[in-house]
Amino acid sequence: MKMSHLRFAAAFVASALLLSGCGGTADPAPTETAAGETPVAGGDLSILVASGMTNWDPGASTGSFPGVVWDRLYAVYGALITVDVDGRVQPGLAESLTTDDGGTTWTLTLRDGLAFTDGTTLDSGAVKANWDRFAEPANALGAARIASTFTSKVVDATTLAITPSTKNPILDKQIADAIPFVASPATFPAGPGPYTTPVGAGPYVLEKWDPAVGETLVKNADYYDDGLPYLDSLTFTLVADPAQRVSTVVQGGAQSMNGYPFQFISDKDNPAVSTFAVASGGVRHLVFNTQSDLFGELRARQAVQLAIDPAELVQTLTQDPSALGGTSLFPEDSQYYDASAVLPKRNLEKAQALVDELKAEGADLQVDILVAAVPELVRAGELLQLTLQQLDGLTVTVNQIPIPEWRAEAFDKDNFDITFYPGVFDLNSPEVGMANLFGKGGLDNVANFGNDDMNAAIDKAQKATSDEARVDAIRAVQEVYVREIPIVAFGIDHRTFLHGADVTGFASMGRGALYTDRLGYVAE
């Protein structure tokens, strides 16, 4: 049977963001998903992506986002554990990661009989070797931010004892979203630099790779999960133009791509395609460089925020006149939503008064907006430029860069005054997400934001042992967000996959990446 036609933004309702109250892995999600019936075995499937792979290092991931590197790393390495869209830790190559003392110590338990595709054993020693390598500063891996916060000791072949440097009740979620991938230690590169010969224990084996074209992976017949993957092969093909990606899937030249509902509206009645929406949703936002000369000043951030109409901005970005703007970090149906934790409404008069104050004090009022060069972000950047140019005294430029270069330019080099986060930021595990977004050393703290009240609220959320305590702490996080404005949220959106109507088995991890071992085709 064929799957239902496209479902669009008006029909998407964000699910409540649920969190388990204690550390440890949950029961595994069923293979059959809400996206369709159980796939049949066999077939080849092509996924279109916006950027190619330059490094297969298992410590090079920046989070479970679709279409970047996570999808391919998961395909080659599998994952020790993952986080689902409800913020629950799910088993994988590891049966469990648990704590009995609130996060002072943790125990990782691997499945029996695991092996890398080079024939070497995936045991607790191999996991330790990967994590120790990630933590070494000389290797310059993003994974060091988590791997350097704990030590591990081999107990036996399938058991690893983990001791955080400070008590950490959410280490399982941090590992799941930052360092769940491990490679065969026999293939580690000699020193820092790209890892180009990946050997893992995942559902697929890398057969062919061209950074400018894409990757072809073939089924790993010895994958730990009997019956998976369903597909014989999986191909990731680089197509930079999002409109071309859409037309290629619609015409049957590929079977899947990730994007957002507004990209697929013109094919809403096309029976050849369907969509799968990631339930949790995420916040669209722009970011201030709080370490820049201008936006290190709160009044400058306030002036920009007061000049913005969130609805106008999100409608321009999505080209959807019905899209709703908003400055809350959570959708209204979330247990963390706080109606008082929203930014002030647009007020150009107050914004101008703040700019006048800064101008009188001799501030340099040149504003550089950095955008990844994809159509929706260019539209948003140009609208923001026009908006801010209404304020007398500001000089505003927009700088476009290729999307694969955005993180290095914004996060690593801090080469911006204002930038748009390229996509949505998912907060389905808010105590982890908030730490990444706002916390000291956060994996996504593009704003360079550092605030003692914020760090204290995040710490309280991470140590919460009840939903009530966690909600209170997340409320405090939102209060600091509204007071300090390191970012400006302007709407909630949902990551969405466009796919052929005969493709099924869609299930997503916390930030939207797919469990590619569950993908396949419906029966004829």
Q: What is the pLDDT of residues 436-453, one digit of tens each?
A: 999 988 889 999 999 999
pLDDT at 10: 32
Tokens 């280490």: give the residue. 171
Report d(CA 483, CA 12) in Å as an integer.
31
pLDDT at 23: 52
Q: Is residue 300 part of a domain?
A: yes
Report d(CA 367, CA 396) in Å as an integer.
5
Which amino acid, 212?
A
> What's the pLDDT tens digit per position in 458-481?
999 988 888 899 999 999 999 999
Q: Is residue 182 part of a domain?
A: no
Report d(CA 182, CA 310) in Å as an integer.
42
Q: Is residue 264 part of a domain?
A: no
Contacts of 334 (CB under 8 A, 6+ apart): 14, 16, 17
- Respond yes or no on whether the N-terminal peptide bond of residue 229 is cis (omega within 30° of 0): yes
Q: Is residue 184 part of a domain?
A: no
Largest pairwise CA distance in the chain: 72
Q: Is residue 248 part of a domain?
A: no
Contacts of 394 (CB under 8 A, 6+ apart): 355, 365, 367, 388
Number of folded domains that form the chain = 1
Report d(CA 354, CA 360) in Å as an integer.
10
Q: Which residue has the higher pLDDT, 172 or 510?
A: 172
Q: Is residue 379 part of a domain?
A: yes
pLDDT at 193 over 90: no
pLDDT at 20: 33
For residue 491, name the pLDDT band (cuts at 50, 70, 90).
very high
Mean pLDDT, rounded, for 182-203: 92
Q: How many CB atoms lie within 10 A of CB 340?
A: 9
pTM: 0.84
Q: Is residue 449 part of a domain?
A: yes
* Domain harbouring 374, CATH code: 3.10.105.10
For residue 18, name the pLDDT band (cuts at 50, 70, 90).
very low
Angle at 253 between CA 252 and CA 254, to 5 degrees: 90
Rg value, the chain, Cα: 23
Q: Is residue 46 part of a domain?
A: no
Q: How many CB atoms lie within 10 A of CB 193?
A: 11
- Can you give the residue range of the structural domain that contains 298? 282-493
pLDDT at 429: 85
pLDDT at 510: 83
pLDDT at 118 over 70: yes
pLDDT at 36: 65
